Amino acid sequence: MSERLDELLRWEASGGHWEVASDDGDVVRLALRTCLGDEVVGELVSSDSDVRQHLAGRNRDD
């Protein structure tokens, strides 16, 4: 498991939400949102295949 996927899984486990901000086919940028999903508080940038597999084509975590 990559460091970025581990970070994303911890974010989800703590109740945070994410949304794809951009994806150029190589690098995906996720906007990390609060537990309520109403505010962007960070960003996760990755080109790791395991992150893409976890996203499974979704644009949001819900």
Tokens at 30, concatenated: 């996720």
The beta-strand segments (E) located in the chain are 17-23, 28-33, 40-46
- The confidence score (pLDDT) of residue 1 equals 87
- Which residues does 9 contact at the CB level (< 8 Å), separation at least 6? 54
In the Cβ-directed half-sphere of 7, how many Cα atoms lie within 13 Å? 13
At 26 the pLDDT is 94
pLDDT at position 62 is 82
Global pTM reads 0.92
Q: Say what the pLDDT of residue 20 is.
A: 98
pLDDT for the residue numbered 41: 97
The per-residue pLDDT for range 13-50, each reduced to its tens digit, is 999 999 999 999 999 999 999 999 899 999 999 999 99
